[in-house]
Amino acid sequence: MSEKHDCGLMLSSLVEYIDGTLREEVCREIERHLRDCENCRVVVNTLRKTIEIYQVTAEPDTLPADVRQRLFYRLELPNEPTETNSALAHQPGSLCPHCHQARLDYDGTLTLRCPACGYAEGGGCT
Amino acid sequence: MDKAAQTLSLAKLQAGDPHEFAHFVDQYSGSVYRLALKMVSEPQDAEDVLQETFLKAQRALPKFEGRSSLATWLYRIAVNEALMVLRKRRPDMISVEEPDPDAEEPDEPLQIIDWCCLPEAELLSNEFRQHLQAAMQQLSPALRAVFLLRDIEGLSIEETAQTLDVSQAVVKTRLLRARLKLREALSEYYKERLTERSQ
């Protein structure tokens, strides 16, 4: 098989090769080619790195609290706190989400604070 | 996402139980918003896509037949909503059936620069992140949707095909083209950085 043909095979099988879903015999053939073809090796390595970079730098799939609030309002749903937004959804008198031993109350600086463990949230100043 | 979906009661969702629908929204809204943000780029447009997606899901759930998972069904609504936003923005550029993103052979890689081993700190700079975002926006919506569903949201090829209502072969072709185009864009970026350093 010519090198050009091998480069073409590599390119046409690249999705399955990167995803690890290629038939074993084709996979072996491509790996043989990669040992000898530096250009293809660079393409495969940088392609893998490209995907990894986009995955690593993707925003977390958590919804900003204000976006969630508007969404629930639009859908006319009960806006109950969830695990992901509960840290910003407590009221004075809510059970402390940290120690579950005492109830939160404002400490005079607009900060909700737990008198038992000192857990704090909110507050307009630093 | 399917694992999360197992804890939901489809019967309650279809009966219009507001608490169950709230759980459904909480499980999927983060992923839908992230997808929308990458598809349409503008946060306000992404929020519109998010809201319209769940409004449509709320109305359509009683008719959901379970031919696909709830996740792929919801992603399908979200992608269609995002395409509508893009069409409104550039009616001359976007059509429902893309100007054939599958017609050509995948572009051959042009940049053969090995930038794999550059410092990770490069990845965290604002400039680089802007470049990543710009490269993503350079993809046609059809290629962008495939890349986001498969490589960012982690859908399988089969689920991506179901979501976009295309064949698995089409998904593979678009995925290859999207990945190669993004790789070219990052190679260009690194080439410029390497040139600057060598001067």
Contact list in A for residue B152 (CB cut-off 8 A) is 54-55, 58
Would you tell me the crossing angle of helices B18-40 and B70-89 to the nearest 10 degrees?
40
- Does residue B130 lie within any of the structural domains? yes
Structure tokens at B172: 């593979």
The verdict on B66 and B133 lying in the same domain is no
Q: Are residues B125 and B190 in the same domain?
A: yes
Helix or strand run (H / E) with residue B171? helix B168-198
pLDDT band at B64 (very low <50, low <70, confident <90, very high): very high
Q: Does A55 touch chain B (CB under 8 A)?
A: yes
Selected residue of A37, A71, A79 to mutate for chain B interface (largest B Cβ count, 10 A): A71
Contact of A62 with chain B, judged by CB distance below 8 Å, is answered with: yes
Domain closes at, from B89, B105, B138: B89
Pairing of strands A105-106, A120-122: unpaired
Predicted local confidence at residue B159, as pLDDT: 95
Interface confidence (ipTM) of the complex: 0.85
CATH number, domain at B142?
A: 1.10.10.10
Q: Hey, what amino acid is at A45?
A: N
CB proximity list for B187: less than 8 A, separation 6 or greater? A46, B111, B113, B115
Phi, psi of A73 (to 5 degrees): -65, -45
Of B89, B105, B131, which residue sits at a domain end? B89
Model pLDDT, residue B28: 94
Q: Are residues B75 and B126 in the same domain?
A: no
> Do the domain assignments include residue B101?
no
**Mind telling me how many Å the CA of A109 is from chain B's nearest CA?**
31
Take residue A40 and report the two structure tokens written for it: 């293809």
**Residue where one domain finishes, among candidates B48, B65, B89:** B89
Q: For residue B113, tell me if it sits in a domain.
A: no
The answer to the question of residue B126 being in a domain is yes
Q: Which 3-state string (H, E, C) describes B102-128?
A: CCCCCCCCCCCCCCCCCCCHHHHCHHH
Please indicate, yes or no, whether residues A47 and A89 belong to a single structural domain of this protein: no
Cα B97–Cα B103–Cα B106 angle in degrees, nearest 5: 120
Q: Both B125 and B80 in a single domain?
A: no
Residue type, B109: P
Task: State how far the Cα of B79 lies from the Cα of B94, in Å rounded to an integer.
Answer: 13
Residue B134 lies in a domain: yes
| Bridge partner list, A111 | A122
**pLDDT score for A7:** 87
Structure-block tokens of residue B53: 């997606």
Q: At what angle do helices B168-198 and B157-164 cross, to 10 degrees?
A: 110
**Domain-located, residue A78:** no
pLDDT at A82: 58
B72 & B135 share domain: no
Number of domains observed in the structure of chain B: 2
Helix (H, G, I), strand (E, B) or coil at A112: strand
Q: What is the CATH number for B46?
A: 1.10.1740.10
- Tokens (6 digits) for B190: 């690194």
Phi-psi map region of A7: left, alpha, beta (phi>0 left; psi -120 to 50 alpha): alpha
Distance, in Å, from the CA atom of B86 to the CA atom of B88, rounded to the nearest integer, reads 5
B37 lies within 8 A of chain A by CB: yes
Give A53's contacts in chain B (Cβ within 8 Å): 123, 132, 186
Q: Residue B75's closest CA among B16, B9, B155, B11?
A: B155
A63 lies in some domain: no
In terms of DSSP bridges, do strands A111-113 and A105-106 run parallel, antiparallel, or are they unpaired? Answer: antiparallel
Q: Which two tokens stand for residue B119?
A: 């410092």
Minimum-distance CB partner of A50 among B113, B114, B183: B183
Higher pLDDT, B126 or A73: A73
Same domain, B85 and B127: no
Find residue A121's DSSP bridge partners: A112
Question: Which chain A positions have a beta carbon within 8 Å of B175's beta carbon?
Answer: 15
Establish if A53 touches chain B: CB-CB under 8 angstroms.
yes
Whether residue B37 is contained in a domain is answered as yes
User: CB distance from B31 to chain A under 8 Å?
Assistant: yes
Mutant choice from B19, B179, B184, B187 vs A, greatest count of A C-beta within 10 A: B179
Distance from CA of B137 to the nearest CA of A (A): 13
Q: Is B129 on the interface with A (CB under 8 A)?
A: yes
The total domain count for chain A is 2
Give a yes or no: residue A52 inside a domain: yes
B106 in contact with A, Cβ within 8 Å: yes
Tell whether B103 is covered by a domain. Answer: no
| Tens-digit pLDDT profile for residues B67-91 | 889 999 999 999 999 999 999 887 6
Domain that holds residue B185: 121-198
The model carries a pTM of: 0.79
Give B24-39 pLDDT, tens digit per residue.
999 999 999 999 999 9
Reading chain A (126 residues) residue by residue, the pLDDT tens digits are 455 568 888 888 899 999 999 899 989 999 999 999 999 999 999 999 999 999 988 888 889 999 999 999 999 998 765 554 443 445 566 655 555 556 667 776 666 777 777 767 654 443
- Residue-wise pLDDT for B150-199, tens only, equals 999 999 999 999 999 999 999 999 999 999 999 999 998 888 877 777 77
Q: What is the residue-averaged pLDDT of chain B?
A: 86
User: B161: exposed, middle or buried (C-beta count within 10 Å: 0-12, 13-18, 19+)?
Assistant: buried
Do the Cβ atoms of A84 and B109 come within 8 Å?
Answer: no
Residue A114 domain boundaries: 85-126
Cβ-defined contact of B176 to A74 (cutoff 8 Å) = no
Residue predicted with more confidence, B101 or A47: A47
